[in-house]
Amino acid sequence: MAEGFIKTKKLESFYILAGDEEFFRGEFIKELFETFLAGKVDDSSMETFDISEKNEDISAASIIESAKTAPFFSEKKFILIKNFTKFKKDGMSQLLDFLPQIPEFTTMVLTTTDDAKDILGMGLPSKNIINISASQAADMKNWAAGYLKPLGKSIDPEVLEYIITESNFEPAIVKNELDKMILISGDKKDIAMEDFSAIRGVDRGYGLDELTEAIVDRDEARSFVILEKLLPDSAPEQLMGFIFYRIKALYILRFFLAGGEFKKLFRFVYIKDIEKARAQAKSFARVPYVDILAIINDADRAVKHSSRDRAGAIMMVMLSRIFLRLGKK
């Protein structure tokens, strides 16, 4: 069993999925069937009810009646109730009162876009409430680890952090990127920076890690050499995104060190070598974050409206502006 959404060792009679991420809903139900319901439910014993504002014909009483009716051709019955918090007061009260009385042969999944904390306020057991909000990067990291574990794989935390950020916290996009790296990595257990570089077409002995390391080390000459090697086989937008992520991590480090809240740092960013990053962050101490951000944003806008050859020149100019702003080493 993967370390995914389900934390209990036994099947619960009901689960409430709270949050706005449709992808995670599908992943939870998939995990539920693989873990507890495989071979125990058939098509005739599955029902779906959507309690939307446009569908007022479904009553709590009809759902309860269905849940009480034993399946004819399978061991278990599965009932999915979408948008259950759309029930009016009486229907909601009736449904919530029934949840502790669900028969052993029925498993019920209720979904809502409401926050998990709001559902906890209903007095329901926390073990039955699953947070599927995509707003927390940590949640997505846990999901990714659970997704990779049954395949015998793990991923470099820095690579995963960047994929999540680059994907704008969209789980489906993160999964797509992971699937590509699973394929590229072959029999290797650990997905590393070189696998990420491979799916970006980088195969000339230089990688994204070397590029960003040279930049944050303020090694101007090496930065330009590596960038020039990478450009022919890499998407400029991807290179720019990784450069931005690496520099941003140093500013986040400075922020938490200055505030004396070092322990909170890893909730927001992964840094492989803290002591080295401290030294690198000093190079950016006199340059406001907004200045670096403005330089990268200018380049990003220009790249979006440029040819491939022109985009490479824009990247070179962007690096020159960053080093000029940082000043002499």
Q: Are residues 63 and 166 in the same domain?
A: no
Please indicate whether residue 154 or residue 3 has the higher confidence score (pLDDT): 154
- Answer whether residue 7 is part of any domain: no
Which tens digit of pLDDT belongs to each residue from 313-328? 899 999 999 999 988 6
State the CATH number of the domain containing residue 113.
Answer: 3.40.50.300
Dig out the tokens for 67 from the structure.
Answer: 């849940």
Which tens digit of pLDDT belongs to each residue from 162-192? 888 777 677 777 887 888 788 778 888 998 8
Q: Are residues 210 and 286 in the same domain?
A: yes
- Confidence category of residue 115, pLDDT binned at 50, 70, 90: confident
- Answer whether residue 179 is part of any domain: yes
pTM above 0.85, yes or no: no
Q: What is the pLDDT of residue 242?
A: 83
Domain that includes residue 105, residue range:
14-133
In angstroms, the Cα distances linking 172 to 10, 25, 179, 246, 251 are 28, 12, 11, 24, 29
Question: How far apart (Å, rounded) are the C-alpha atoms in residues 229 and 224?
Answer: 9
Considering 133, 157, 180, which residue would you say is the last residue of a domain?
Answer: 133
- Answer whether residue 96 is part of any domain: yes
The candidate with the shortest Cα–Cα distance to 252, out of 242, 267, 241, 240, is 267
Considering 83, 107, 133, which residue would you say is the last residue of a domain?
Answer: 133
User: Can you tell me whether residue 61 is helix, strand or coil?
Assistant: helix
- Answer whether residue 299 is part of any domain: yes
What is the number of domains present in the chain?
Answer: 3
Q: Are residues 79 and 118 in the same domain?
A: yes
The candidate with the shortest Cα–Cα distance to 105, out of 72, 138, 133, 60, is 72
Q: Is pLDDT of 257 > 90?
A: no
In angstroms, the Cα distances linking 6 to 12, 126, 146 are 10, 12, 11
Considering 117, 133, 149, which residue would you say is the last residue of a domain?
Answer: 133
Q: Would you call 118 exposed, middle or buried from its count of C-beta atoms within 10 A (0-12, 13-18, 19+)?
A: exposed
End-to-end CA distance of the chain: 51
Which tens digit of pLDDT belongs to each residue from 56-113? 678 999 999 999 999 988 999 999 999 999 998 999 999 999 999 999 999 999 999 9
Q: Are residues 176 and 242 in the same domain?
A: no
The number of residues in the chain equals 329
Q: Are residues 317 and 275 in the same domain?
A: yes
Which tens digit of pLDDT belongs to each residue from 126-157? 999 998 875 555 677 888 888 898 889 999 88
* Type of residue numbered 120: L
User: Can you tell me whether residue 188 is helix, strand or coil?
Assistant: coil
Which tens digit of pLDDT belongs to each residue from 38-54? 999 998 899 999 997 66
Q: Which range scores top for mean pLDDT: 86-100, 228-242, 251-265?
A: 86-100
- Answer whether residue 237 is part of any domain: yes
Question: How far apart (Å, rounded) are the C-alpha atoms in residues 295 and 280?
Answer: 19
Question: How far apart (Å, rounded) are the C-alpha atoms in residues 203 and 196?
Answer: 11
Q: What is the pLDDT of residue 1?
A: 32
Q: Which residues, at least 6 apart from 241, have a Cβ–Cβ distance to it below 8 Å? A: 162, 165, 166
- Answer whether residue 4 is part of any domain: no
Question: How far apart (Å, rounded) are the C-alpha atoms in residues 90 and 85?
Answer: 12
